[in-house]
């Protein structure tokens, strides 16, 4: 009977059969491979490799960025401007090679001159708000300047402090405009002219600086005399208002009296002309009547003289209240009722 070989026996190789030796050798090889795979050194190397690949992928993916419709993206490469991107999804080389600065170009920004908010850039708001006019008066002005960005590159790199630059430029321009104007129009009603001139001049100055800024509007919030002289100024304004009122009343009186006087004078002139024409016509009529009477007189003196006598007596006696009766007709008279007065 053949001897049974135990493959797990610790005996020498001579006790193994050929098949048993092959099994033992295969077992030794498999154990060595398993031992090699379980080496701690080789496991850490794989982790590091995969970790580096993951970090590289994340670093590359960090280059994607989104620009909103109201923004512009300014791309910098090692701190130097490269290009500007509009709204949408874009990609740049990840930091620290390139970076993106997003600038809102539709937002309206504002600064105030002469108000407490302006003390952010100056220490004395009183000095800032008080300006000398062209007629050597002092006016206290509060001005609001509204602006927005039109070029992100110039806005970021042409000026160190854009807000302060706009504020200083606006104050300088406003002082120049006020210095060329009189106090009264600025305070009472010509503010629109000051606002328009300030806006145009401020935009010109900022364009010279390549500021990348658009001035939207300029608004004078207040334009008054200083508090120290406001009472005196109001008194002067009241006096001027009274002067204007008296002047207007005088103008109204003149406008009322002069037309009447001119009309009365024209009426007198017309009456005189009418009287002149009537007098001349009457004189000419009398002259013609006298000529006709004279012609009749030459033809019949007796009849003409009697006719003239009767006309004269009729003219004299027609206003008399007495009735003259022929004595021969005394018995044939009837009572007469006077229609012009009492009966006599």
For 159-212, the pLDDT digits (tens) are 888 888 888 899 889 888 888 888 777 877 777 888 888 899 999 999 998 888
pLDDT of residue 15: 45
pLDDT band with cut points at 50, 70 and 90 for residue 235: confident
CA distance 125 to 115: 7
For residues 313-341, average pLDDT = 65
pLDDT at 148: 92
At 280, the pLDDT band (50, 70, 90 cuts) reads very high
What pLDDT shows up at residue 274?
A: 92
- The per-residue pLDDT for 18 is 47
Average pLDDT over the chain, rounded to an integer: 77
Separation between Cα atoms, residue 210 and residue 206, nearest integer Å: 6
Q: Taking 50 as the threshold, does the pLDDT of residue 105 lie above it?
A: yes
Task: Say if residue 21's pLDDT is above 80.
Answer: no
- The answer to whether 102 touches 67, Cβ cutoff 8 Å, is yes
Q: pLDDT at residue 218 above 80?
A: yes
Measuring CA to CA, how many Å separate 96 from each of 53, 72, 85, 99? Answer: 19, 20, 19, 7
Cis preceding-peptide flag for 240 (omega within 30 of 0): no
Q: Is residue 237 packed enough to be buried (19+ CB in 10 Å), middle (13-18) or exposed (0-12)?
A: middle
Q: Give the pLDDT confidence of 28-61 residue by residue, as tens digits.
A: 444 444 444 445 555 676 778 777 888 877 877 7
């Amino acid at each position: 009977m053949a001897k049974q070989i135990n493959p797990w026996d610790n005996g020498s190789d001579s006790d193994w059969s050929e098949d048993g030796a092959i099994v033992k050798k295969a077992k030794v090889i498999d154990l060595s491979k398993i031992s090699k795979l379980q080496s701690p050194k080789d496991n850490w190397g794989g982790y590091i490799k995969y970790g580096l690949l993951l970090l590289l992928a994340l670093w590359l993916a960090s280059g994607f960025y989104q620009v909103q419709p109201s923004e512009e993206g300014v791309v910098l490469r090692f701190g130097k401007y490269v290009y500007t991107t509009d709204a949408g999804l874009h990609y740049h080389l990840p930091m620290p090679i390139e970076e993106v600065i997003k600038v809102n170009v539709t937002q309206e920004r504002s600064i105030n001159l002469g108000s407490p908010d302006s003390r952010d850039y100056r220490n004395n708001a009183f000095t800032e708000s008080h300006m000398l006019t062209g007629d050597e008066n002092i006016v206290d002005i509060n001005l609001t300047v509204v602006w927005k960005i039109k070029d992100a590159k110039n806005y970021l790199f042409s000026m160190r402090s854009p807000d302060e630059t706009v504020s200083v430029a606006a104050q300088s321009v406003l002082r120049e405009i006020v210095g060329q104007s009189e106090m009264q129009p600025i305070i009472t009603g010509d503010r629109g002219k000051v606002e328009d001139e300030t806006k145009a001049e401020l935009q010109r100055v900022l364009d010279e600086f390549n500021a990348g800024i658009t001035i939207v509007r300029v608004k004078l919030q207040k334009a008054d005399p200083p508090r120290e002289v406001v009472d005196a100024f109001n008194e002067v304004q009241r006096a001027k208002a009274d002067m204007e009122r008296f002047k207007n009343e005088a103008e109204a009186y003149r406008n009322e009296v002069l037309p009447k006087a001119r009309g009365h004078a024209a009426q007198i002139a017309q009456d005189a002309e009418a009287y002149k024409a009537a007098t001349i016509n009457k004189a000419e009529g009398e002259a013609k009547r006298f000529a006709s009477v004279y012609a009749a007189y030459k033809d019949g003196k007796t009849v003409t003289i009697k006719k003239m006598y009767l006309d004269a007596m009729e003219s004299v006696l027609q206003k008399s209240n007495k009735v003259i009766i022929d004595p021969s007709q005394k018995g044939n008279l009837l009572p007469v009722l006077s229609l012009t007065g009492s009966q006599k």
